Amino acid sequence: MPLLEIIILLTLAAFIAGYVDAIAGGGGLITVPALMLAGLSPVEAIATNKLQGTAGVAASTFAFWKAGHLDTKALRRAIPAAAIGAAVGCLLVGALDATLLKRAIPVALILIALYFAFQRPATQQRATQHRTEPHDAAPPTPLSPTRTALVAFPVAAYDGFLGPGAGSFYMAGLTSLAHAPLLSALANTKPLNLTSNAVALVIFALSGNLVLWAGLPMALAQFAGSRLGAASALRHGAPLIRPAIVTVSLLLAARLLWTA
């Protein structure tokens, strides 16, 4: 296949991934296989995926910040925790055997899907109430800075070390440990995911595994898709976010089990 056609297909995949990722995470479920089908090695695919992933999550972070859904007080502690966690995770690559973790992640993703599918009605009510507020309103209940940081560090470490499903793990941690309503959890997941992605991107760039002819056009497409996805999440709230998280978590678990 000619290089131009490959780039067009990769760009389309990145746009769709950006839309999905802004709502539920899991955009790598689309882009990493697409990059490998385009001929990139697994390491190159993962590294290049961090490039467009960083662009996409930057777009959704800006959209949620502009709409007033970021808890900046909690994030001031959580973002440094995510940066340190991602760096630790990247340093552990090659030092630890990822086999056991790869077997455990699909089980964890299935549990996350069940958690969001059968979440308590009270939490659903809070999420719905928050969805009906004006888009420029602040979250109704501030997040705990300590609990948010406690979620950020281990998930960012996992994101730097392996990565699949990190968005779902951030979401589950913020809703369960930090007691965040669904839309607030989704919004505050984005700057944490941006931090862990950016740290991993720098480390991968230094290692020379980025493939720019694929990554740069995909980054632009994922940026656009993420802006559209964030707008959809802000418009529709929990009725869109919840089934999207459940579906993406199950699909990602199925893919990991299949490749294993």
pLDDT of residue 20: 92
pLDDT of residue 5: 92
Neighbours of 31 (CB within 10 A): 27
**246 CB contacts (<8 Å, ≥6 apart)?**
113, 116, 117
pTM of the model: 0.84
In the chain, the number of structural domains is: 1
Backbone conformation region of residue 165, classed left if phi is above 0, alpha if psi is from -120 to 50, else beta: left
HEC string of the chain equals: CCHHHHHHHHHHHHHHHHHHHHHHCCCHHHHHHHHHHCCCCHHHHHHHHHHHHHHHHHHHHHHHHHCCCCCHHHHHHHHHHHHHHHHHHHHHECCECCHHHHHHHHHHHHHHHHHHHCCCHHHHHHHHHHHCCCCCCCCCCCCCHHHHHHHHHHHHHHHHHCCCCHHHHHHHHHHHCCCCCHHHHHHHHHHHHHHHHHHHHHHHHHHCCCCHHHHHHHHHHHHHHHHHHHHHHHHHCHHHHHHHHHHHHHHHHHHHHHHC
Q: What is the distance between the alpha carbons of residues 41 and 61, in angstroms, rounded to a whole number?
A: 30
Nearest to 242 by CA among 75, 112, 86: 112
pLDDT of residue 24: 86
Q: What is the distance between the alpha carbons of residues 104 and 30, in angstroms, rounded to a whole number?
A: 21
pLDDT of residue 136: 43
pLDDT of residue 92: 82
pLDDT of residue 97: 64
Q: 10-residue block means of pLDDT along the chain (260 residues)?
A: 91 95 87 89 87 95 95 95 93 70 79 82 43 44 92 93 84 91 94 94 89 96 96 91 89 81
Which residue range is the domain that position 195 belongs to?
3-259
Q: What is the distance between the alpha carbons of residues 125 and 242, in angstroms, rounded to a whole number?
A: 13
